[in-house]
Amino acid sequence: MFSYKPKLKHVIEAKQFSDRKLLEEMFDRAEYMERKDKKNKLPQSLKGKRVASFFYEESTRTRFSFETAVLALGGKVVSTDKASQFSSVAKGETLEDTIRILSSYFHAIVMRHNIKGSAKIASTYSEVPIINAGDGEGEHPTQALLDVYTIKKEIGRIDDFSIAMVGDLKYGRTIHSLTYLLESHKNVKIYFVSPKTLSIPEEHIQSMIASKTQFEETENMEEALDKVDVLYMTRVQKERFPNQEEYDKVKDFYILDKDMLRKMKPEAIIMHPLPRIKEIDPKIDTDPRAAYFRQAKNGLYIRMALLDMILG
Amino acid sequence: MFSYKPKLKHVIEAKQFSDRKLLEEMFDRAEYMERKDKKNKLPQSLKGKRVASFFYEESTRTRFSFETAVLALGGKVVSTDKASQFSSVAKGETLEDTIRILSSYFHAIVMRHNIKGSAKIASTYSEVPIINAGDGEGEHPTQALLDVYTIKKEIGRIDDFSIAMVGDLKYGRTIHSLTYLLESHKNVKIYFVSPKTLSIPEEHIQSMIASKTQFEETENMEEALDKVDVLYMTRVQKERFPNQEEYDKVKDFYILDKDMLRKMKPEAIIMHPLPRIKEIDPKIDTDPRAAYFRQAKNGLYIRMALLDMILG
Amino acid sequence: MFSYKPKLKHVIEAKQFSDRKLLEEMFDRAEYMERKDKKNKLPQSLKGKRVASFFYEESTRTRFSFETAVLALGGKVVSTDKASQFSSVAKGETLEDTIRILSSYFHAIVMRHNIKGSAKIASTYSEVPIINAGDGEGEHPTQALLDVYTIKKEIGRIDDFSIAMVGDLKYGRTIHSLTYLLESHKNVKIYFVSPKTLSIPEEHIQSMIASKTQFEETENMEEALDKVDVLYMTRVQKERFPNQEEYDKVKDFYILDKDMLRKMKPEAIIMHPLPRIKEIDPKIDTDPRAAYFRQAKNGLYIRMALLDMILG
């Protein structure tokens, strides 16, 4: 079926998917998985494969979609969503030792960790693929993959479009991964919309200048609203703030409601990595441009495609 | 094998099973599952089906028996027993959003929640069947099903019998579901035995009057003991009380011991949804009338039957 | 394949494996499992079997390796790593009741508990095999099995060798189980190295005298270092101490570094049940004598072998 077998071991950061051929291969497989799933005929390509689902931070959609993807393709999962309170970790074991052990039991490790860079470190000690399911304020590469996949499905192209990223651009790892990934796409214009205290980190600015990616920074969402093909809203993440006061200052900065929706292009789409709190008025959910629930569902098929490429 | 395929999507409340044909169909399947399980030949009727086990409140027997039922019939489970501390929920996501996402990954959602009515709400947002595994002080419909199934297996009939329900009738959702279900059975007499502060809620009284169900309320367990075919003991649930003091007042109100056992009919049975604390003296466990462990086991087969009817 | 089918139901304590024939049978199967796993051709001997993974204390490698073993052999697992906060347990249910219910759902129960003797108690109430995955400061019999299996693979024999056990010998259940098991081996000399406050319990001393096992006690690790074929390091377990002060007194008593390594026999091996904190300098990890990661991996195959013998 899929003759091109790309070299893919660890999945640590979004830039690994700058290769267009690799990305298209993945999207083809994701579509294939969705078609097969509807017929209840998913390939059992992970048969005999064991995957550790090792989450130091809790998660609903990421852990659930990864585990569902493994199981649906015939693989086995052993799981924890509280790795940080986990016996050996709580007892003071290093990440290195934990990963060495897990990599001797499993064929791959899906890992979420609260510290940036931890997935990279884990990969240097693991005999088996590490899949980064979020490392603190670092990256969340599979989220970027499903985001771009969603853009492709919704607006029909992954080059030649404009996108506004709104909210917490400083700590938001989905933003970081998506920004890195979009740098390899042609003629993409990014509007970064955030309060100054939550603006996109300098390393991204430098990276975009080097890759000649067009971007603008603004505090005013309305400036970008009528210009973009994709409006990517994010939650201001309470858990990244030192205290309630700092959080309260910015939490309600950007809220998309029906009035603002009117200013958007009729063929634009609204995305959100979810969970949302108040950033998007639920009244918008029924608007055809509201793509965030379809986006979440795409995550399941992208993860199936990814696991199939790595372990299948 | 089972030619009658009932329409059954969401399982929210016990009254859905007032249809005798549906109930008998389920009991036939439960017996079939038990027979097949003993031979290690359970039908793999959930093959390719994915079920979310989503528990906001912890549970042993309910979560374990549901997950066992899914797995034993060839389905897949992704599970959490701490949904309320779960990432997206803790971050402030609404139940609606959570359910929308889960329903795009899974073929059914087994849900326990701490708030009455939440399963009903969830069902309005879900594309796939919601199975209520307990919603606060609301209902626990699959418990009622296994209770009635137990009565059938133990005393040979589900009409023409008397039952005493003892303990916390106010907050006990197993009592609420069983009472609603029994209203559709012929010639059932219910003795409600509780302290006044924990008596059966008014909505049940009204419902029983409307359905012409015979009932009596009393604070004295001994009044009912020699009359009933089924003695249904319940735990006074500490977690439903505002403080220790209120709990202490009533917790030891009803305790079944060997002396009291002598007053019961020789062919009567003792049931309990478990866990028990002190309501039933363990010395009674070996009495053939002690049906509560058999009752718990029946739960596994009822849940298999239910899942088979919904997803098989 | 394996014609000798030993009688093995509950696995509670290491002395159950004093029978050499049983032990060798298990080691043969463990090697068989490892060979088959490398070819992705593990026997599906647990097909249709359901195992409860019931952990009152958290764990990484023990829970993960047991669950992996069950799943890899085609069995099903339902799991909790927080049984003590689990609904029915937190509500005050007795271990007896919990086990009775679980044993009516599952074909075996893997149980870790914080109280010594609890696995034994559980076995008296269970219709199905109880596998003790650690009971407080009591035993951890499958750890002893994988330890002896590792000794066999690493030094080629399980009789005629000397071993130093270092660290917390009072509370360390892996030490207790290994010591009991080694009593049935010929010509084994044990050096117990610990601070006086953490020395090997008197019941072990009496048992070794009765079984004529050679042993010496010392506080000085260097006394044993050049004599032994196996150096078995352990962590001083913080969670067994009443307070930080008592723990701090002894926690850094024994640390194996490169200097000390030079004093060891060139063909000796270093073992550790893991997790380690500071007892072994990571610089030693690359030394061929460092067997602890191989030891952890052996645990997976020993548990497969054990489950296969009990349930296969």
Is the predicted pLDDT of residue A81 greater than 90, yes or no? no
State the pLDDT at residue A281. Answer: 95
**What are the start-end ranges of the H helices in chain C?**
20-38, 61-72, 87-90, 95-105, 118-125, 141-155, 173-182, 202-210, 221-225, 244-250, 258-261, 292-311
Residues of C in contact with B239 (CB under 8 A): 91
Q: Which of B101, B106, B111 should one mutate to test binding to chain A, selecting the residue with the greatest count of A CBs within 10 A? A: B101
Euclidean distance between CA atoms C98 and B189, whole angstroms: 32
pLDDT for the residue B93 = 78
**Interchain pair C64, A105: CB under 8 A:** yes
Q: How far apart, in whole angstroms, are the C-alpha atoms of residue A66 and residue A141?
A: 13
CB-CB under 8 Å, A86 with C276 = no
Residue C249 has pLDDT above 90, yes or no: no
How much of chain B is in helix, strand and coil states, percent to nearest 5? 45, 15, 40
User: Higher model confidence: residue B8 or residue A242?
Assistant: B8
H or E element at residue B231 = strand B230-233
Give per-residue pLDDT as tens, C269-298. Answer: 999 999 998 899 999 999 999 999 999 999
Predicted complex: ipTM over 0.85 = yes
Domains of chain C: 14-139+298-311 (3.40.50.1370), 141-296 (3.40.50.1370)
Return mean pLDDT, chain C.
93
Specify the pLDDT at position A77. Answer: 98
Instruction: Write out pLDDT tens, residues C226-236.
Output: 999 999 999 88
Write down the pLDDT at residue A104.
96
**Phi/psi at A132 (5° precision):** -75, 110
Q: How confident is the model at residue B70 (pLDDT cuts 50, 70, 90)?
A: very high
Residues in chain B with CB shorter than 8 Å from the CB of A71 are 50, 76, 78
Checking if the pLDDT of B294 tops 70, the result is yes
Shortest distance, CA C93 to any CA of chain B (angstroms) = 6
Predicted local confidence at residue A242, as pLDDT: 77
Query: Would you state the pLDDT for residue C81?
Result: 82
Residue A246: its pLDDT value, please? 78
* Under 8 Å between Cβ of B49 and B107: yes
Q: Give residue C85's pLDDT band: very low, low, confident or very high (50, 70, 90).
A: low
Q: Which residues of B are tagged catalytic?
A: 61-62, 91, 112, 140
Q: Are A134 and A62 in contact (CB under 8 A)?
A: yes
Distance to chain C for A85, nearest Cα, Å? 8
What is the rounded average pLDDT of the residues C19-33?
A: 96
- pLDDT at B275 > cutoff 80: yes
In the predicted model, what is the mean pLDDT of residues C127-139?
A: 96
Task: Report pLDDT digits (tens) over C153-212.
Answer: 999 999 999 999 999 999 999 999 999 999 999 999 999 999 998 999 999 999 999 999
Please report which helix (H) or strand (E) contains residue B259, including its range: helix B258-261
Nearest CA in chain B to C52: B64
Cβ of A65 and B105 within 8 Å? yes
Asked if C68's CB is within 8 angstroms of A50's CB, the reply is yes
A207: closest CA of chain B, how far (Å): 31
Q: How far apart are CA C4 and CA B303, in angstroms?
A: 38
A-C contacts at Cβ under 8 angstroms: 82
Q: What is the pLDDT of residues A101-118, one digit of tens each?
A: 999 999 999 999 989 999
Active site residues of A: 61-62, 91, 112, 140
pLDDT in tens, B197-246: 899 999 999 999 999 999 999 999 999 999 999 999 998 877 777 788 87
Which residues of C are known to be catalytic? 61-62, 91, 112, 140
Whether C86 shows a pLDDT value over 90: the answer reads no
Nearest to A254 by CA among A234, A283, A227, A275: A234
**Count, residues in chain A:** 312
Angle in degrees, 0-180, between the axes of helices A95-105 and C61-72, rounded to the nearest 10: 10
Asked if C117 has any chain B CB less than 8 Å from its own CB, the reply is no
Across the range A52-73, mean pLDDT stands at 93
B238: distance to nearest CA of chain C, Å? 8
Confidence band (pLDDT; 50, 70, 90) for A3?
A: low
Which stretch of A93-107, B54-68, C74-88, C199-213 has the lowest confidence by average pLDDT? C74-88
* A110 at interface of C, judged by CB pairs closer than 8 A: no
Residue A1, pLDDT > 60, answer: no
Counting as contact any 3 or more CB pairs under 8 A, the partners of B are: A, C
Residue A85 has pLDDT above 70, yes or no: no
Is A238 an 8 Å CB contact of chain B?
yes
Find chain C residues with C-beta within 8 A of A85's C-beta: 58
CA–CA gap between residue C216 and residue A217 (Å, rounded): 73
Predicted model pTM: 0.94
Q: Please say if the pLDDT value at position A221 is more than 90.
A: yes
pLDDT at B57: 80
Q: Would the CB atoms of B78 and A71 count as touching at under 8 Å? A: yes
Confidence of residue C89 (pLDDT cuts 50, 70, 90): low
Does B250 have pLDDT greater than 80? no
Alpha carbon of B87: minimum distance to chain A alpha carbons (Å): 4
Residue C11 pLDDT greater than 80, yes or no: yes
List CB contacts of A109: < 8 A, sequence separation 6 or more. Answer: A51, A52, A54, A99, A102, A103, A122, A126, A128, A129, A130, A131
Span B58-73, mean pLDDT?
93
pLDDT of residue B1 exceeding 70, the answer is: no
Contact state of C274 with A78 under an 8 Å Cβ cutoff: no
Mean pLDDT for A51-74 is 93
**Is the predicted pLDDT of residue A233 greater than 60, yes or no?**
yes
B205: left (phi over 0), alpha (psi -120 to 50) or beta: alpha
* pLDDT single digits (tens) A252-273: 779 999 999 999 999 999 999 9
Contact call for A72 and B52, based on CB within 8 A: no
Per-residue confidence band for A244, with pLDDT thresholds at 50, 70 and 90: confident
The answer to whether B50 contacts A60, with C-beta atoms less than 8 Å apart, is no
Cα–Cα distance measured from residue B290 to residue C159, given in angstroms and rounded to the nearest whole number: 52
Residue-wise pLDDT for A174-220, tens only, equals: 999 999 999 999 999 999 999 998 999 999 999 999 999 999 999 99
Which tokens is A162 given?
A: 């404009």
**Residue from the list A42, A68, A237 with its beta carbon closest to the beta carbon of B105:** A68
**Which pLDDT score, from 0 to 100, does residue B4 have?**
63
What is the per-residue pLDDT for C88? 57
C-alpha A191/C-alpha A214 separation (Å) is: 9
Confidence bin at B247 (pLDDT 50/70/90): confident
Does B90 contact A65 at a Cβ distance shorter than 8 Å? no
From CA B6, how far away is CA B265, in angstroms rounded? 38
Contact (CB, 8 A) for B47 and C74: no
Torsion angle, alpha carbons of C35, C41, C47, C52, to 10: 50
Nearest residue, CB atoms, A98 vs list C60, C68, C79 = C60
| pLDDT of C222 over the 80 cut | yes
Contact yes or no for C224/C256 (Cβ under 8 A): no
Q: What is the pLDDT of residues B87-135, one digit of tens each?
A: 455 566 789 999 999 999 999 999 999 899 999 999 999 999 999 999 9
The pLDDT assigned to A86 comes to 56
**Could you say which of B40, B79, B275 has the minimum Cβ distance to residue C48?**
B40
